[in-house]
Copies of this chain bind each other. A is one copy, B any other.
Amino acid sequence: MHKYLFFLFFLFSTIVLSQDFEILPLGVYGGGDESNLSSYLIRDYQNENYIACDAGTVRAGLIAAYKKGNLSKKPMELLQDNVKAYFISHSHLDHLSGMIINSPEDSPKPIYAFPQTIEVLKNHYFISDTWANFSNEGEEPILGKHHYKRIDEKKYYKVKHTNLELVGFPLSHPVPSSAVWLHNVAGNSILYLGDTGSDRIEGNGHLNKLWSTIAKNLKEGKLKAILIEVSFTNEQPENLLFGHLTPKLLVEELQQLAKYAGVKSLKNFPIIITHIKPDGDSIIQIKNELEAYNPMQVQYIFPEQGVPLQF
Residues of chain B within 8 A of A123, CB atoms compared: 129
Beta-carbon contacts of A80-98 to B below 8 Å, as 1s and 0s?
0000000000011110011
In A20-54, the 8 Å CB interface with B consists of: 31-37
Instruction: Kindly state the separation between the CA atoms of A33 and B67 in the bound complex, as whole angstroms.
Output: 14
- Which one, B92, B102, B130, contacts A124 given CB within 8 A? B130
Instruction: Kindly state the separation between the CA atoms of A105 and B94 in the bound complex, as whole angstroms.
Output: 14
Contact, CB under 8 Å: B34 / A98:
yes
Contact, CB under 8 Å: B101 / A32:
yes
Contact, CB under 8 Å: B32 / A92:
no
Whether, in the assembled complex, A296 has its beta carbon less than 8 Å from a beta carbon of chain B, the answer is no
Instruction: Kindly state the separation between the CA atoms of A164 and B94 in the bound complex, as whole angstroms.
Output: 32
Instruction: Kindly state the separation between the CA atoms of A174 and B129 in the bound complex, as whole angstroms.
Output: 9
Interface secondary structure of A, over-half rule: loop
Task: Please count how many residues in chain A sit with their CB below 8 Å of the partner chain's CB atoms.
Answer: 38
Instruction: Kindly state the separation between the CA atoms of A92 and B93 in the bound complex, as whole angstroms.
Output: 13
A56-64, A189-197, A211-219, A260-268 - interface stretch: A56-64
Whether, in the assembled complex, A120 has its beta carbon less than 8 Å from a beta carbon of chain B, the answer is yes
Whether, in the assembled complex, A238 has its beta carbon less than 8 Å from a beta carbon of chain B, the answer is no
Closest B residue to A119 by beta carbon equals B129
Contact, CB under 8 Å: B97 / A93:
yes
Residues of chain B within 8 A of A56, CB atoms compared: 34
Whether, in the assembled complex, A127 has its beta carbon less than 8 Å from a beta carbon of chain B, the answer is yes
Residues of chain B within 8 A of A59, CB atoms compared: 32-34
Whether, in the assembled complex, A131 has its beta carbon less than 8 Å from a beta carbon of chain B, the answer is yes
- Which one, B57, B60, B127, B279, contacts A105 given CB within 8 A? B279
- Which one, B58, B93, B105, B279, contacts A100 given CB within 8 A? B93
Closest B residue to A62 by beta carbon equals B33
Instruction: Kindly state the separation between the CA atoms of A226 and B105 in the bound complex, as whole angstroms.
Output: 29
Whether, in the assembled complex, A125 has its beta carbon less than 8 Å from a beta carbon of chain B, the answer is yes
14 contacting pairs across A/B (C-beta < 8 A): A32-B59, A32-B102, A32-B105, A33-B60, A33-B63, A34-B57, A34-B59, A35-B35, A76-B279, A92-B130, A97-B101, A120-B129, A123-B129, A124-B130
Which 6 pairs between the two chains have the least Cβ-Cβ distance? A35-B35, A35-B60, A124-B124, A120-B129, A34-B60, A32-B59
Known: A34-B59, A92-B130. 10 other contacts (CB 8 A): A31-B105, A33-B59, A33-B60, A34-B34, A34-B98, A36-B60, A37-B101, A97-B101, A120-B129, A128-B175
